[in-house]
């Protein structure tokens, strides 16, 4: 099957002459979750802005659902690819949260009934009931980011690109982002994430693409990447804290990956009986 997003030999040079990405090749298939990781300035945002035509390749080619992003109008691409900006100051909003949430569906001529259903769901997830008449610009940046995500949820585009969705979010906000990603995934959307949030990656254990100094240097599953010490060092990454603990507990199963709290609790659940016996022997002798 043809990949839905296809990046072929893409480089991007900004007007000031900075080469932000170089010779990147990448294919993303239907229903995939892909996280783009890497140091500050490595080219992550630049790369994903090519998916909805916000940026065009200087050389090479990007196709999304068989459309060449260089030839399509932004409007057509943006109904297919939703993008939540890293910096919510760069996202344009309508004067009220309510208008913002309804706008996308109206624009895409989605039926009133379906629109209501979707908007209601978004309002519930992001707890926006009391903010519907607020002007997004009066809200703080983490809230604005949530409104960006809520309106994408209403539009429900085939491809969802979230640039650092958990930045500035509290614990609950981070859990909500995780829920959102899983929900899109379950409904068959492609989700592309840019993030520095290693706990989020641990929870998803998804495919990760690593950018380094404007080049793609790895493309593998998170558990594989998190075990590759050299790669972690090159790309300034660090596994979630529980994995750092698990790495030092020699009695855990070496063939397993412990990327989450859950995974370690599970090990103890399965081995509790043995543990108790061992301890009895230990204290008895």
Partner 1 sequence: MSNRDAIVVENLTFQYPDTETPVLKNIHFTLKEGEVLGIIGRTGSGKTTLAMCLNRLVPTVIQGNLEGTISVFGQDISQRSVADMADKVGFVFQEPENQLSQMTVEEEIAFGMGNLGISREEMKYRIQETLKQVGLEGFEKRSPLALSGGQQQRLAIASVMAMRPSIMIMDEPTSMLDPRGKNEVYDVLRKIKTYGMTGVIIDHEVERMASYCDKILVLDDGEVIMFGTPKEVFSELTLLHEMEMNAPQVTELADRLRKELQIDVGSPITVEEAVKAFQIVSIK
Contacts of 284 (CB under 8 A, 6+ apart): none
Sign of the CA dihedral with 97 first, then 190, 40, and 230 last: positive
Q: Which stretch binds partner 1 (CB under 8 A): 5-13, 36-44, 70-78, 213-221?
A: 36-44
Instruction: Decide: helix, strand or coil at residue 193.
Output: strand
Q: Which of 4, 20, 36, 45 binds Mg ion (CB under 5 A)?
A: 45
Q: Which of 5, 20, 147, 154 binds ligand ATP (CB under 6 A)?
A: 20
Contacts of 164 (CB under 8 A, 6+ apart): 86, 194, 195, 196, 197
Residues 105-144 that bind partner 1 (CB under 8 A): 140-143
CB of 46 to Mg ion, least distance (A): 8
Beta-strand runs (E) in the chain: 5-13, 19-28, 33-38, 59-64, 67-68, 81-84, 159-163, 190-194, 207-212, 215-221
279 binds, among Mg ion, partner 1, ligand ATP, none (CB under 5 to 8 A by kind): partner 1
Q: Which stretch binds Mg ion (CB under 5 A): 82-90, 145-153, 169-177, 274-282?
A: 82-90
Q: What is the DSSP letter of 131?
A: G
Residues 209-268 that bind ligand ATP (CB under 6 A): 211
Q: Which stretch binds partner 1 (CB under 8 A): 27-35, 70-78, 149-157, 194-202?
A: 194-202
**CB 22, CB 211: distance < 8 Å:** no
CB of 261 to ligand ATP, least distance (A): 26
44 lies in the site for ligand ATP, by CB under 6 A: yes
């Amino acid at each position: 099957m043809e990949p839905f997003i296809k990046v072929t030999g893409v480089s991007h040079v900004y007007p000031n002459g900075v080469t932000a990405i170089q010779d990147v090749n990448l294919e993303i298939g239907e229903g995939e979750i892909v996280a783009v990781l890497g140091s500050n300035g490595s080219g992550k945002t630049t790369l994903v802005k090519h998916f909805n035509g916000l940026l065009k390749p200087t050389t090479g080619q990007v196709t999304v659902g068989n459309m060449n992003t260089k030839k399509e109008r932004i409007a057509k691409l943006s109904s297919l690819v939703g993008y939540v900006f890293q910096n919510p100051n760069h996202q344009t909003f309508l004067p009220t949260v309510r208008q913002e949430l309804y706008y996308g569906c109206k624009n895409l001529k989605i039926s009133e009934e379906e629109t209501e259903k979707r908007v209601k769901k978004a309002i519930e997830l992001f707890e926006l009931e009391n903010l519907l008449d607020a002007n997004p610009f009066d809200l703080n940046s983490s809230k604005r980011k949530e409104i960006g995500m809520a309106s994408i949820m209403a539009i429900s585009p085939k491809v969802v690109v979230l640039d650092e969705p958990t930045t500035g979010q509290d614990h609950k906000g981070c859990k909500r982002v995780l829920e959102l990603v899983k929900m899109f995934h379950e409904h068959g959307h492609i989700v592309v994430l840019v993030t520095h949030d290693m706990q989020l990656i641990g929870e998803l254990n998804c495919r990760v693409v690593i950018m380094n100094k404007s080049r793609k240097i790895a493309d593998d599953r998170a558990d594989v990447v998190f075990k590759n010490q050299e790669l972690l060092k090159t790309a300034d990454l660090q596994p979630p804290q529980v994995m750092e603990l698990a790495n030092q507990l020699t009695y855990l199963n070496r063939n397993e990956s412990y990327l989450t709290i859950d995974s370690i609790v599970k090990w103890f659940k399965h081995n509790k009986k043995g543990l108790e016996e061992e301890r009895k022997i230990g204290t008895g002798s």
